[in-house]
A and B are shown apart, each in its own frame.
Chain A
Amino acid sequence: MPASKTKKTGKTITIDAKGVYYRELNHSIRTALKAGGKEFHLKNINGQRYIGDGLVGRDVRITIDGVPGNDLGAFMDGPTIVVNSNAQDGISNTMNDGKIIIHGDAGDVLGYGMRGGKLFVRGDVGYRVGIHMKEFKAKIPVIIAGGVAGDFLGEYMAGGILILLGEKKKNEMMVGDYLGTGMHGGVIYLKYSDDIKEDRLGKEVAVMELDDADNKVLDKLLKEYCQDFRMDYDKTRQQRFVKLKPVSHRPYGKLYAY
């Protein structure tokens, strides 16, 4: 198992991860972090898991060349991660704070139980995105995806904000089935589309028009998103959006005989 090659130029710590096992790689990052490193550039990443897992500190920044493996930024609390290509499953798993920017597509189960921070994906996202996201007071997690999403988007969502811009690359559904199933908190903003049909929604949610407060939220978040990806904000913002909200935050209140 080759050890990762670490180099320091200026403030940036560059790690060549070619052929390096994830444990080794993450160990090098943690060690450098302990020694005061803040800026990381990971090169030749090829499926290594758990990058950024459990890392703490708002001033930490990790740039990744190549495709990182599952659980990128799991349990992360503060750092920013920028991925210059696609990424895999389980990104932002139970993430507490920080920001992850994916310039390509991302896989399944993104933001599971996420409670803070932001995940911006330029392209498509897979199944089960934003499941069980939750919020507490001012701590509101945000996921924005530029492309289309698979089934079970926002399932069991208890808080937070999910935004789907729904840009299609081919003739496909903008969003999969079971949208918002079991959702009992938070909000999903979707680009308006014929693909959002009653029979494809969870029975706990309803489609509604935006109000002023929603528009303010969208203004702010989309500005940030467009800036990160150098996109045309006005064009993005112009599109018609609808929101999906739970009709009750106690969907399971009447199941039992007391």
Chain B
Amino acid sequence: MVKSTIPPMFQVVVDKEKCRKCKRCVMSCSYGALGFTDRVVPDDKNCVACHRCVAMCPENAIMINESPLAYRPHASWTVEHRQGILKQAETGGMLLTGMGNDKPYKIFWDHLVIDACQVTNPSIDPLREPMELRTYLGSKPDKLEFETDKNGQPSLKTQLTPNILLETPIVFAAMSFGSISLNAHRALARAAYESGILMNTGEGGLHKDLYKYGERAIVQVASGRFGVHQEYLNQGSVIEIKVGQGAKPGIGGHLPGEKINSEVSQTRMIPIGSDALSPAPHHDIYSIEDLRQLIYALKEATNYQKPVSVKVSAVHNIAAIASGIVRAGADIVTIDGFRGGTGAAPTIIRDNVGIPIEMALAAVDDRLRKEGIRNQASIIAAGSIRSSGDWVKALALGADAVVIGTAALIAMGCRVCQKCYMGKCTWGIATQNPQLTARLNPEVATERLKNLIRAWSLELKEILGLLGVNSIESLRGNRERLRAIGLTDSEANILGVKHAGE
């Protein structure tokens, strides 16, 4: 192969004074950015800034800088465009990337502020008073009917459909075993189980070792139907039909053969080393009626015991699409915004297709309310929830719960290097290489995930307290408690919020 002429993005600097030549950094780098002769020799062009070497160095001897190499500035022909073209000219392939959209689109969470009580409406101290974060996912009845027996004892007449309890309104994002390691899957499953939330298997099935956490899992059914069988469907407490993903709306998934080792092959039920292709559409879904058919096929298969979720990407007509999904019989609609993460997506699609979750969520909640069917399904919002601040705002815009994917990965050690698609994750997350997966201790990762959920939930309680409410239900869909800063009238209008000062 011809040597690439693309200049490196980063510069690895090893402090000769501090380095004691222990080679830990060299061993930790799976990208080939560090070699050793009689000293550590960096190869800058292979560095992805994953920070593994920095974290491993006992002497703090490594510094990674953005390459100071000057490009003649050009506002239109940015360095990224120029580098992309060079790479494509060299390879003829589509540019791939991992993680969510990294382009500087307006982030609406950062233009929303939260209300607080002052003087006339006292706030509540969450340290002294109980705060209810519990959330039930699933369809709620239009009305409740009661009957009384001959002794005058009332009882509920309305037949309720299954609902799943979340101790706090968060679920882990759909990340398949295959795209991430078994240790990472294990940590997510266990942390969800122990925190009373849900993990999502993604479309790669659930490893048999993790069946014991199944009651806290959303089991996904995607177009490739990998690892889907009766036992798997029975394991989970929610079944999710994956139609779309925020990072790559309208296109399928593709797990390259290199990642299909024996464990992944067993769980997905496909031969070792073969490509796992999830086609763009489900080839049996071409209409809302077809979607209804699959929803009910799954409900029949599990005896109407489990809520069925349908996950779609946030796209232009999301409100109408969500309405169709609810009318098709889904109990949960999961909407994934265009900043949602991925293990692998063509960069051009990740960065240019779809709409922000804030807009999509507000539009869907509005539409379902106006149509009088909001109770028929829970809404789960996904796509770059970065802190409990974003979480609170999502709940106020109408979400029943939010999804955290990237945040969960970061909690486990991910440094958002965006190279997940290469399968060389130095943190043992997005890889199947046994030497690398061994770096992720599932016990430690479980604790870290639980810590994150706990920390955010404490913050959520504080915010409920300052809002003067003691239950998440009083915040949900309550856009009056949000104000916009720096948004246009039409943006604020779509979000259904007033401007600050109004």
Contacts and interface: CB of A to CB of B under 8 A. Distances in A.
A184 B275 contact: yes
A40 B289 CA distance: 29
Given A94-B228, A136-B269, A256-B96, 11 more contacts: A71-B293, A74-B301, A109-B283, A112-B284, A132-B279, A136-B266, A156-B277, A158-B274, A182-B277, A184-B277, A258-B422
B283 A112 contact: yes
Given A53-B300, A54-B301, A253-B256, A94 B225 contact: yes
Nearest to B346: A256
A112 B228 CA distance: 12
A61 interface: no
Contact of B229 (A50, A93, A96): A96
Contact of B257 (A30, A132, A182, A250): A250
Interface string A61-78: 000000000110011110
A159 interface: yes
Contacts of B223: 132
The 5 closest A-B pairs by CB, nearest first: A54-B301, A113-B225, A257-B93, A257-B91, A53-B300
A185 B271 CA distance: 10
Contacts of A255: 93-94
B446 interface: no
Interface string B247-277: 0000000101100000001100111011101
Nearest to B282: A112
Nearest to B230: A77
Contacts of B298: 75
Contacts of A240: none
Contact of B225 (A77, A112, A128): A112
Nearest to B222: A113
Interface in A199-258: 249-258
Interface of B: 87-88, 90-96, 221, 223-226, 228-231, 233, 254, 256-257, 265-266, 269-271, 273-275, 277, 279, 283-284, 293, 296-298, 300-303, 346, 421-422
Contacts of A158: 270, 274, 277
A173 interface: no
Contacts of A94: 221, 225, 228-229
Contacts of B230: 54, 56, 75-77, 96
A50 B270 contact: no
Contacts of A135: 270-271
Contact of A93 (B96, B226, B297): B297
Q: Specify which of B87, B92, B96, B301 lies most central, judged by the most chain A CB atoms within 10 Å of its CB.
A: B301
Given A49-B296, A136-B270, A254-B93, A115 B284 contact: no
A5 interface: no
Nearest to A131: B283
Given A53-B297, A257-B93, A252 B254 contact: yes
B270 A134 contact: yes
A113 B275 CA distance: 15
Contacts of B269: 115, 134, 136, 139
A38 B300 CA distance: 19
Contacts of B233: 54, 75
A89 B297 CA distance: 13
Contacts of B270: 134-136, 158-159, 185
Interface in A81-137: 89-90, 93-94, 96, 109, 112-113, 115, 128, 131-132, 134-137
A53 B300 CA distance: 6
Contacts of B297: 49-50, 53, 71, 74-75, 90, 93
B283 A256 contact: no
Given A71-B293, A257-B91, A54 B300 contact: yes
26 contacts: A49-B297, A49-B300, A53-B297, A54-B301, A70-B293, A75-B228, A75-B229, A75-B301, A93-B297, A96-B229, A112-B284, A113-B225, A132-B279, A134-B270, A136-B269, A136-B271, A139-B269, A158-B274, A159-B270, A249-B257, A249-B274, A250-B256, A250-B257, A258-B91, A258-B96, A258-B422
Contacts of A46: none
A159 B271 contact: yes
Nearest to A50: B300
A235 B166 CA distance: 62
Given A30-B303, A255-B93, A93 B274 contact: no
A81 to B, nearest CB: 15
A70 B289 CA distance: 12
A39 interface: no
Contacts of B421: 256, 258
B257 A156 contact: no
A156 B279 contact: yes
B265 A136 contact: yes
A93 B301 CA distance: 11
Interface in A1-54: 23, 26, 30, 49-50, 53-54
A161 to B, nearest CB: 15
Contacts of A23: 300
B271 A132 contact: no
A208 B298 CA distance: 39
A177 interface: no
A41 B295 CA distance: 27
Contacts of B284: 89-90, 93, 109, 112, 128, 131
A132 B224 contact: yes
Contacts of B283: 109, 112, 128, 131-132, 152, 155-156
B421 to A, nearest CB: 8
Contacts of A70: 293
A136 B228 CA distance: 13
A70 B292 CA distance: 12
A251 B266 CA distance: 22
Nearest to B84: A257
Nearest to A108: B284
Given A56-B230, A94-B225, A132-B279, A184 B274 contact: yes
A120 B224 CA distance: 23
